[in-house]
């Protein structure tokens, strides 16, 4: 890979899992893959909801692309706004089996990892675009939390953020609901913020 200007933004989402046959994070990745944000190419990777296979795919993407920023997306079916995750807790993975029927292997890492991204600034940018959002300190206890922890641990100097998306159709306001287009707009705003510091 050449100079920093050639390094892409890595955008990841997840494939389907039990109860979520059409994962909106994968749809957003598909919409932005191959585009450019602030002149920076976007490389999209849809991760399987499998601890072992997601770890392999993420590690491969990090080595191959050496991204200048990383934006990870997942869906939170019970949430109604965009959630900017401040922390990952790699050791706090629940006992929920992945789509391969396997439980996670306990991670050897700090109990908590915190993003260096200014989430307050990202929140303001989303508000300016009329995209409801909040900052969260709970990335869950499943693959989202695991992937976030792996990514933060692999390169703390690289701007890295995990964003939980509400499901398509969830109420966004009094008269509107979230669409793939609205979620894609939100991901674009977050990506722009990451590249401002990346």
Active site residues: 85, 144, 164
CA 33/CA 11 separation, integer angstroms: 8
Torsion sign across C-alpha atoms 156, 108, 141, 74: positive
| DSSP sequence for 4-47 | GGG--EEEEEE--BTTBSS-HHHHHHHHHTT-EETTEEEEEEEE
Q: Which residues of 177-198 are buried (b: 16+ CB within 10 A; e: fewer)?
A: ebeeebbbbbbbbbbbbbbeeb
Q: Which residue has the tokens 């590690």?
A: 59
Strands (DSSP E) found in the chain: 9-14, 36-37, 40-47, 69-75, 82-85, 87-88, 113-114, 133-136, 160-165
Q: 188 — phi, psi (to 5°)? A: -65, -45
- Contact in structure between 163 and 73 (CB atoms under 8 Å): yes
């Amino acid at each position: 890979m050449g100079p920093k200007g050639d390094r892409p933004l890595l955008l990841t989402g997840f494939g389907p899992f039990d109860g979520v046959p059409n994962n909106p994070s994968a749809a957003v990745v598909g919409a932005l893959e191959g585009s450019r944000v602030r002149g920076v190419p976007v490389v999209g990777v849809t991760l399987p909801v499998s601890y072992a296979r997601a770890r392999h795919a993420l590690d491969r993407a990090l080595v191959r692309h050496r991204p200048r920023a990383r934006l990870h997306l997942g869906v939170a079916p019970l949430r109604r706004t965009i959630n900017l995750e401040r922390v990952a807790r790699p050791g706090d993975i629940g006992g929920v089996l992945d789509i391969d029927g396997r439980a996670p292997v306990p991670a050897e890492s700090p109990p908590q990892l915190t993003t260096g991204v200014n989430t307050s600034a990202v929140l303001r940018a989303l508000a300016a675009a009329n995209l409801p959002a909040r900052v969260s300190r709970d990335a869950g206890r499943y693959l989202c939390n695991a992937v976030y922890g792996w990514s933060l641990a692999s390169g703390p100097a690289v701007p890295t953020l995990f964003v939980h998306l509400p499901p398509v159709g969830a109420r966004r306001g009094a008269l509107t609901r979230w669409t793939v287009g609205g979620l894609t707009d939100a991901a674009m705003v977050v990506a722009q913020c990451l590249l401002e510091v990346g």
